[in-house]
Amino acid sequence: MTRHSNLARALTLLLARALLTRAEVKSLLHASSCARGAVLRALAADASLGREALPIAVETQAASASSLRALFLSFAYETHCRCPVPLERHALAAAPHDALAKRVAAGRRVNVALRHRDDDARGWGVVALERIPRGSFVGEYTGALVSTREMQRRFREARGRNYVLVLREVARQAGSSASGGFSALRTIVDATVCGNFTRLVNHSCEPNLTITAVRVDSLIPRLVLFASRDIARGEELTFDYAGDAAGPSEAESYDDVCDDATSAAESRLLEHFKLHGGDVWTIGDGCQSCRQKLGDVSTLKKCVSCQAALFCDRECQLKGWKAHKAECGVIAAFRKTEAVVAAPEQVATLLEILSWSAAATKSSSEPKVVGVAKSLSMDEAKLPGWFFTVDYELASTETQKSLYQAALTLYALLRDEESWTRDQESFPRSSYTSVALLHSLPAAEELLAVLLARNGHLLLFSAWLQQPEPPATQSLPLEDRGFFGVVDSLLQLSAVRDRIDEFMDSRAA
């Protein structure tokens, strides 16, 4: 009776969230366990695409059927698509991970230890304190379970290194043919704040661990590390960051960013209409915080950074700084390039900040760099001097700021009329907000020639490949695009696009 009651409560919850119809709920109450299992699997798939009301810690997995029901009843996802109920096609194959699940449920039985080496750029690592046989359960990657959108937000606000692991499973749907009917389930775990020793396991292109999704009485898979070969005592434990679990699929990322761009644009316009109706707000027409247009602005205080925004006094500046900070940085970068005559040497310096080198070849062991090199059929030990060799996500906060500023300054130097036509709809916040800036610099063509001569377009392309940005990025406010978004803006320059096309054609020939 209790078991049936708990299931009824769970289905009532689904009904309230419009995931199931009343008829489907009634059918499920009398359906076979296979049918109910199919629904739970579909819900798990939907959950990975959803948006959490609260993060769920992966450590607190259900260990029994009753705790599974409790977990299901307290499931905190807000989902956005209806769950199919395959009542007529519920013939499911036996779970392929039963043996692995038993090993995980038995717990870790190998001893490991943390190690820190000052002479190693990687710092912390994990070593085996005993011989570990192949196939042994070594540990579970734990942390907070997050959605793709939340992961992207955390990346934008990240300070220093992150410990985000993304795993994608591809499965054939029940009853589908061998040529189609596949669906992807993406699991993202952020161990930055909460986690265990596994977040300190380093990357290797020849790892001794493999990561697998295992379900142990839970809707949510546990990301488990197993020994892929015999591991000697004292040997460092490693797994491949850039393997099958390296990131979400490209198409899903595109959808997420498109959704973000659309909602952000709508929010900007709504905010503007609430404040100003249909009038255009020009930065410098009045106090940036009060948003009151004034005929005489001589008594207002000018922002010392961008020299464009005005404020009544220091109190207004402090109050409005959070909203102005991002656009201030962009305006300041643009105005600095307008204030001096740009020289070819400036482009060369910026490219060097972005890891350009005059050396014929260079090498890198950074995970994302290795992945990009492989995608271009290049040897990471013999990369050309123009190759972008910084793993941006693993770089320090200061390095990330330096890279972003270099990319932004390059864009300020090289922008053209076409760039302005594209950006004026989104910078600083919408087409209803404007700022007085030059559309392009007189020396832009000369500076662009310097960039192309040094293969700077390929440097930008190899950087962009670490996190390819969809076209929707260009509809985001310029100040919200981040490093990869600004690099993408540089790649929109027609001459840069043409040269990259030539490069890719030459490799395909």
Interval 144-195: pLDDT, tens: 777 766 776 776 676 555 677 777 655 444 444 444 444 556 677 877 766 6
Q: What is the mean pLDDT of residues 62-68?
A: 45
Rounded-to-integer distance, Cα 162 and Cα 190, Å: 8
* Residue 130 exposure: Cα atoms within 13 Å on the Cβ side: 7
Q: What is the mean pLDDT of residues 329-341?
A: 83
* DSSP states of 357-413: -SSSEE----HHHHHHHHHTT--TTSEETTS----GGGS-HHHHHHHHHHHHHHHHH
Q: 258: Cβ–Cβ under 8 A, 6 or more apart, which residues?
A: 470, 472
| 227 confidence band (pLDDT: 50, 70, 90) | very high
Query: What is the pLDDT, as a whole number, of residue 246?
Result: 32
Q: What's the rounded mean pLDDT across residues 371-397?
A: 88
Is pLDDT at 90 greater than 50 in this prediction? no
- Whole-angstrom distance, CA of residue 245 vs CA of residue 184: 12
Whole-number pLDDT of residue 209:
92
> What mean pLDDT comes out for the span 207-229?
78
CB atoms within 10 A of CB 295: 6
Residue 73 pLDDT exceeds 80:
no
Strand (E) or helix (H) holding 2: helix 2-16
Domain 47-239 matching CATH 1.20.120.330: the answer reads no
As given in the structure block, the two tokens for residue 331 are 């305006």
The per-residue pLDDT for 279 is 58
Q: What is the pLDDT of residue 232?
A: 92
Domain ranges for the chain = 47-239, 340-508
Residue whose structure tokens are 């990009």 = 372
Cβ-contact 267, 276 below 8 angstroms: no
Residue 277 in this model has a pLDDT that exceeds 70: no
Span of 46-60, 140-154, 395-409 with lowest mean pLDDT: 46-60
pLDDT for res 141: 83
* Contact assessment for residue 311 and residue 289, using Cβ atoms and an 8 Å cutoff: yes
pLDDT of the residue at 244: 42
pLDDT computed for residue 329 by the predictor: 85
Q: Is the CA virtual torsion 52, 54, 56, 60 positive or negative?
A: negative
For residue 352, how far is the Cα from the chain centroid? Answer: 26
Our CA angle for 121, 206, 387, nearest 5°, is: 60
265, 450, 483 from 447: Cα distances, Å: 33, 5, 21
Joined tokens for residue 56: 């769920």
Q: Which residues contact 350 (CB under 8 A, 6 or more apart)?
A: 406, 409, 410, 413
Note whether 125 and 218 are within 8 A (CB). Answer: no
Alpha-carbon distance of 286 to 148, in angstroms, equals 39
Over residues 311-340, the mean pLDDT reads 85
What's the token pair of residue 188?
């993202």
62-90 residues labelled b (16+ CB within 10 A) or e (exposed):
beeeeebbebbeebebebeeebebbbeeb
pLDDT of residue 269: 52
CB 165 within 8 A of CB 139: no
Work out the angle at residue 154's Cα, subtended by the Cα atoms of residues 407 and 249, and round it to the nearest 5 degrees: 80
Q: How many residues does the chain have?
A: 509
Query: Quick check: 289 pLDDT over 60?
Result: yes
Bigger pLDDT: 240 vs 418: 240
Write down the pLDDT at residue 41: 52
Over residues 489-499, the mean pLDDT reads 88
pTM greater than 0.75 (yes/no): no
Specify the 3-state DSSP secondary structure of 159. coil
Q: Which of 47-51, 283-287, 410-414 has the highest mean pLDDT?
A: 410-414
Q: Is the Cβ–Cβ distance between 90 and 34 less than 8 Å?
A: yes
Nearest Cα neighbor of 270 from 432, 31, 403, 467 is 432
What pLDDT, on the 0 to 100 scale, is given for residue 224? 86
Pairing assessment for the beta strands 202-203 and 238-239 based on DSSP bridges: parallel
Q: What is the mean pLDDT of residues 372-382?
A: 86
* DSSP labels, 24-93: HHHHHHTS-HHHHHHHHHHHHHHHHHSEESS-EETTS---SHHHHHHHHHT--EE--SPPP--SS----P
Per-residue pLDDT tens for 437-451? 777 788 888 999 999
- The one-letter amino acid code at 22 reads R
Given this model, what pLDDT does residue 409 score? Answer: 92
pLDDT band at 321 (very low <50, low <70, confident <90, very high): confident
Whether the CB-CB separation of 473 and 261 falls below 8 Å is answered with yes
Nearest CA-CA partner of 213 in 383, 88, 45, 339: 45
Residue 455 has pLDDT above 60, yes or no: yes
pLDDT at 383 > cutoff 80: yes
Q: What is the CA radius of gyration of the chain?
A: 27
The pLDDT-based confidence of 268 (bands split at 50, 70, 90) is low
Q: Structure tokens of 140?
A: 């579970």
Query: Model confidence over 400-420: pLDDT tens digits?
Result: 999 999 999 999 899 877 765
Model pLDDT, residue 245 = 36
Q: How much is the average pLDDT of 1-15?
A: 45
Side chain identity at 502, as an amino acid letter? Answer: E
Name the burial class of residue 261, with classes exposed (0-12), middle (13-18) and buried (19+) by CB atoms within 10 angstroms of its CB.
Answer: buried
- What whole-number percentage of the chain has pLDDT above 70? 58
Average predicted confidence (pLDDT) for the chain: 70
Lowest mean pLDDT among 80-94, 286-300, 349-363, 451-465: 80-94
Show the tokens assigned to 176: 């589908």
End-to-end CA distance of the chain: 69
